[in-house]
């Protein structure tokens, strides 16, 4: 899952820019509850559709799940996989979070990726792993120390790419104990250039918020052309646009579009993000759309949730009633040591395990579902538990795949490997991009 946060500042900032994403969460949080159905577990088993020709089909593999290790990865349908991974350290270096040859270790991962002809990338950072980015790159000598630690890891393990998932440069929207500076984005560029000089063949990329990184004035950058020269891709994390731990109303986790929503509800989307990043200097061919295999659950009474026999649009919810999502969700301390409630996140398989959806992804009997035509994403409500989930399904992944194709984007990146069920989401997006559905 992505994160568990209680950041007061998020409430007064544009949520889209603040949207936290692929995080590093302590492994202790991975299995506090047991799945409600033994028929449903993380993972996917059916025959995958191949990725569209020349298109990036990527996922992030999180190395902290005890019940989903490298051996569980279904590589088919992907051509790029990012190992999640490494974090920043107080010593100013990037470090691995698990031992080399453990079942989810980097050596195990690289061996399997190469056997499966999938391009192996190392992710550094994440929601819980970005604490020391700013201090690690703030001076020339610190940058050299940081870059050398990355070069050592790349050479040691054989990663062919490195992805920076800094949440977020020049912003207070990240974890509460992150180091930060107005010079973050400028320093990030210098660090990337130094790394590219050290390892010219390394594929560099970055996982980004929906709005371009802040410049020294604290506003989204309008000119990132120098970044576009050093980075192969940006993976725009178009999720957590709304979430139960930081929003005031139930909204789409991953809106394709929001221009048809009420003005106050236009907080970011794939279409607006692509406009902003291309205006800042990235070509569409360098943009990979981040897509979620999970949704956010919200506590909401039946009378507020269901109006005129359909699910209400952007309803308020019980902000003081945290929802616990599936078995990968749990409360616990964040990387600053501050206790956080459960995130309320349900993976796609978790929605099936939790009785919201049938095994084919359709809305289960007794639940109420709605497909929002504006965001092109579904909602489902369980009247028994009074939980509404804003999620993604085959229809929304098909819409996202069509958008990637029409906008000429590089491809997609799935957060996260293991969140899908029977490749329902993967097949939908690959099918749309390759034109076979
Ligand atoms: C992961 O793989 C192990 C070993 O093959 C297997 O026992 C386990 O059931 C798998 N877990 C999932 C979630 O598929
Ligand atoms: C340089 O790195 C060291 C080690 O991480 C750190 O203690 C120091 O604060 C950094 N310098 C700056 C100016 O951030
Ligand atoms: C980089 O790639 C090129 C082309 O594949 C190759 O000729 C060159 O030796 C590589 N350089 C390094 C430092 O690996
Ligand atoms: C949903 O949106 C599509 C395209 O934007 C439009 O063609 C269709 O008529 C809409 N459907 C409804 C029920 O509003």
Tens of pLDDT, residue by residue over 240-259, are 999 999 999 999 999 999 99
pLDDT digits (tens, 9 = 90+) for 114-130: 999 999 999 999 999 99
Q: How far is CA 329 from the centre of its chain?
A: 15
Judge whether 60 and 414 are in contact, CB under 8 Å: yes
Residue 139 CA, closest ligand 2 atom number: 13
For the Cβ of 41 lying below 6 angstroms from any atom of ligand 1, the answer is yes
**Euclidean distance between CA atoms 183 and 397, whole angstroms:** 37
Is residue 169 a contact partner of residue 212, using CB atoms and an 8 Å limit? no
Query: Which among 300, 348, 293 has a CA at the least distance from the CA of 323?
Result: 300
Helices 184-198 and 140-157 cross at an angle (nearest 10°) of 50
pLDDT score, position 58 = 98
Contacts 24+ apart (CB under 8 A), 105-111: 105/63, 105/70, 106/63, 106/157, 106/159, 107/157, 108/69, 108/70, 109/61, 109/63, 109/70, 109/83, 110/83, 110/157, 110/158, 110/159
Better-scored residue on pLDDT, 54 or 85: 85
Per-residue pLDDT reduced to its tens digit, 388-414: 999 999 999 999 999 999 999 999 999
Could you tell me the CA-to-CA distances from 240 to 17, 72, 245, 329 in Å, in that order?
10, 26, 10, 15
> How far is it, in rounded angstroms, from Cα 362 to Cα 382?
14
Using the atom order of ligand 2, give the atom closest to the CA of residue 132: 5
Give the closest residue (by CA) to ligand 1 atom 14.
43
For residue 51, pLDDT beyond 90:
no
Coil, helix or strand at residue 397 = helix
pLDDT confidence of residue 47: 59
Please work out whether the CB of residue 91 comes within 6 Å of at least one atom of ligand 2: yes
Local structure of residue 218 (DSSP, 8 states)? S
Provide the residue ranges of all domains of the chain, joining segments of one domain with +: 8-32+40-296+393-434, 298-388
Give the pLDDT confidence of 59-68 residue by residue, as tens digits: 999 999 999 9
For residues 19-34, one letter each, b for 16 or more C-beta atoms within 10 angstroms of the residue's C-beta and e for the rest, the string is bbbbbbbeeebbeeee
Class of domain 8-32+40-296+393-434: alpha beta
Please state the separation of Cα 316 from the chain's center in Å: 25
Instruction: Look at ligand 2, atom 13, and give the residue with the nearest C-alpha.
Output: 138
From the alpha carbon of 89, which atom of ligand 2 is closest? 5
In angstroms, how far is CA 156 from the centroid of its own chain? 27
Question: Is a pLDDT exceeding 60 seen at residue 107?
Answer: yes
Helix (H) or strand (E) holding 229: helix 225-230
Q: Is the CB of 31 under 6 A from ligand 1?
A: no
Find the range with the poorest average confidence among 19-23, 40-44, 135-139, 249-253.
Answer: 19-23
Task: Please tell me the distance from the alpha carbon of residue 76 to that of residue 160, in angstroms, as a whole number.
Answer: 19
Q: What is the signed CA dihedral for 190, 63, 159, 102, rounded to 10 degrees?
A: 130
* Torsions phi, psi for 113 (to 5 deg): -60, -45
DSSP, res 259: T
Q: Kindly state if the Cβ of 349 falls inside 6 Å of ligand 1.
A: no
Which tens digits make up the pLDDT trace of 266-275? 899 999 999 9
Please state, as a whole number, how many other Cβ atoms lie within 10 Å of the Cβ of residue 92.
19
Per-residue pLDDT, averaged over 380-387, amounts to: 98
C-beta 92 within 6 A of ligand 2: yes
What pLDDT is attached to residue 53? 65
Predicted confidence at residue 41, as pLDDT, reads 55
User: Considering only 18-22, 197-201, 278-282, 408-412, which range has the smallest mean pLDDT?
Assistant: 18-22
pLDDT tens-place string over residues 354-374: 999 999 999 999 999 999 999
Q: Is the pLDDT of residue 425 over 80?
A: yes
Index of the ligand 2 atom closest to the CA of residue 90: 5
Per DSSP, the three-state class of 238 is: coil
């Amino acid at each position: 899952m992505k994160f568990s946060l209680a950041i007061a500042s998020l409430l007064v900032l544009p949520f889209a820019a603040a949207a936290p994403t692929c995080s590093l969460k302590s492994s202790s949080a991975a299995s506090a509850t047991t799945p409600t159905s033994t028929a449903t577990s993380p993972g996917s088993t059916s025959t995958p559709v191949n990725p569209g020709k020349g298109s990036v089909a990527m996922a992030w593999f999180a190395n902290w799940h005890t019940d989903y290790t490298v051996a569980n990865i279904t590589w088919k349908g992907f051509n790029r996989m990012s190992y999640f991974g490494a974090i920043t350290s107080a010593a100013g270096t990037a470090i691995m979070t698990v031992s080399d040859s453990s079942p989810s270790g980097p050596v195990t991962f690289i061996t399997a990726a190469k056997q499966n002809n999938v391009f192996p990338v190392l992710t550094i950072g994440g929601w819980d792993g970005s604490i020391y980015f700013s201090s690690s790159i703030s001076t020339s000598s610190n940058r050299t120390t940081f870059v050398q630690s990355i070069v050592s890891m790349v050479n040691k393990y054989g990663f062919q790419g490195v992805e920076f998932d800094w949440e977020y440069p020049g912003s207070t929207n990240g974890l509460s104990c992150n180091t930060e500076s107005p010079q973050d984005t400028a320093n990030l560029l210098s660090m990337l250039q130094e790394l590219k000089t050290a390892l010219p063949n390394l594929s560099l990329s970055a996982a980004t918020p929906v709005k371009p990184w802040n410049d020294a004035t604290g506003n989204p950058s309008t000119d990132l052309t120098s970044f576009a020269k050093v980075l192969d891709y940006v993976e725009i994390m178009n999720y957590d646009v709304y979430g139960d731990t930081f929003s005031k109303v139930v909204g789409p986790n991953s809106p394709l579009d929001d221009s048809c929503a009420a003005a106050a509800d236009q907080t970011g989307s794939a279409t607006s993000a692509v406009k902003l990043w291309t205006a800042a200097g990235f070509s569409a061919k360098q943009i990979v759309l981040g897509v979620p295999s999970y949704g956010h659950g919200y506590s909401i009474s039946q009378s507020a949730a269901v109006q005129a026999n359909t699910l209400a649009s952007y309803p308020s919810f019980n902000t003081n009633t945290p929802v616990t999502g599936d078995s990968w969700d749990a409360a616990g301390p964040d990387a600053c040591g501050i206790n956080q409630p459960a995130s309320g996140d349900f993976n796609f398989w978790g929605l099936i395990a939790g009785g919201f959806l049938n095994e084919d992804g359709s809305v289960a009997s007794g639940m109420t579902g709605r497909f929002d035509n504006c965001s092109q994403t579904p909602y489902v409500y369980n009247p028994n538990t009074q939980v509404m989930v804003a999620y993604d399904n085959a229809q929304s992944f098909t819409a996202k795949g069509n958008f990637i194709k029409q906008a000429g984007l590089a491809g997609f990146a799935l957060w996260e490997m293991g969140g899908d069920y029977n490749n329902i989401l993967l097949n939908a997006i690959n099918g749309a991009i390759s034109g076979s559905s």
